[in-house]
Amino acid sequence: MTRSPDPAAVRHAHADAWRELALSHPGGAAGDLPGARLASSGLPFPQFNGADVTDPALVDPAAVAAWFAAAGVPWAWRVPAGADRPEGPLVVAQRLMGLHGEDLRPAPAPRGVELRLAGPADLEDVVAVDVRAFGGDPASARAWTAPHLSAPRVAVGLARLEGRAVGTAYAVRSDGAAGPAVLLGGVAVLPEARRRGIGAALSSWLLAGALGAGARLAHLQPDDERAARVYARLGFTEVPGLEVRAPRPPAGG
């Protein structure tokens, strides 16, 4: 029987991974304040900068806001689901799933699909797949992705079918408050290449590499129920998630 990971460990691992991602950027920074762990990528997009709340009762929203103001970036709260503080309008409810490393159920690559690590020369292929799969702005996707392609703790995977890039994903290894862990993110497959098992195979391959390098806990954010079912087949179980909340405007602002 698959064992469900400790929800607090998954949340801590999530914060650890976001710190690694932020610090992979030239303008990245990280900090700790009472009840919150902060990470700034230096990019002017709130989805890439956040405050992970570890103890809502200890958080001083003004001190957190001042930290991000000094960093010069927009940002968002990531709060355990159901927490009373900090206040701020809900942006999105974020599901979380976790897996003990030994519980991974590998998925084979479909016939004709090549899986390999991407490097700096593959940036445009990675961005093209990501934007086709998720939408969004190519410039922001490029700014977010480029440093990851040479970061020592980030592995970006690329799936090719008949020589064409059709899928991408990344795995972020961390070793912070949650111990050795890996975040799987950015799993994207072109619409015309879906339902062949490419996303599951690429995910499994990246996770196996990180687990082989010492990670003991894997975690991710499923985008929807279909994705959650794919990850459940790999061995992931769902745990209580997070609420992404916008900062409350300052009084009189």
Question: HSE on the CB side for 134, CA within 13 Å?
Answer: 20
Q: Has residue 133 got a pLDDT over 70?
A: yes
pLDDT for the residue numbered 252: 54
Consecutive H or E run containing 127: helix 123-134
Which residue, of 95, 117, 149, is where some domain finishes? Answer: 95
Domain that holds residue 18: 7-95
130 and 231 assigned to the same domain: yes
The pLDDT tens digits for 212-233 are: 999 999 999 998 999 999 999 9
| Count of C-beta atoms within a 10 Å radius of residue 94 | 16
141 and 182 assigned to the same domain: yes
Which residue, of 95, 116, 140, is where some domain finishes? Answer: 95
The pLDDT tens digits for 10-42 are: 999 999 999 999 999 999 999 999 999 999 999
DSSP-derived secondary structure for 38-80 = EEE-S-S-GGGEEEEES-GGG--HHHHHHHHHHHT---EEEEE
47 and 78 assigned to the same domain: yes
| Best CA proximity match to 78, nearest among 159, 12, 160, 171 | 12
Provide the residue type at 1 as one letter.
M
DSSP-derived secondary structure for 178-220 = TEEEEEEEEEEE-GGG-SSSHHHHHHHHHHHHHHHTT--EEEE
151 and 224 assigned to the same domain: yes
Examine residue 250 and state whether it is found in any structural domain, yes or no: no
Instruction: Give the residues across from 159 on adjacent strands.
Output: 115, 167
104 and 22 assigned to the same domain: no
Question: Measuring CA to CA, how many Å separate 55 from each of 31, 122, 253?
Answer: 15, 40, 27
CA dihedral sign of residues 176, 201, 100, 229? positive
Question: HSE on the CB side for 209, CA within 13 Å?
Answer: 19
Q: What percent of the chain has pLDDT over 90?
A: 92
Examine residue 228 and state whether it is found in any structural domain, yes or no: yes
221 and 119 assigned to the same domain: yes
The pLDDT tens digits for 88-124 are: 899 999 999 999 999 999 999 999 999 999 999 999 9
- Counting DSSP H helices and E strands in the chain, the numbers are 6, 11
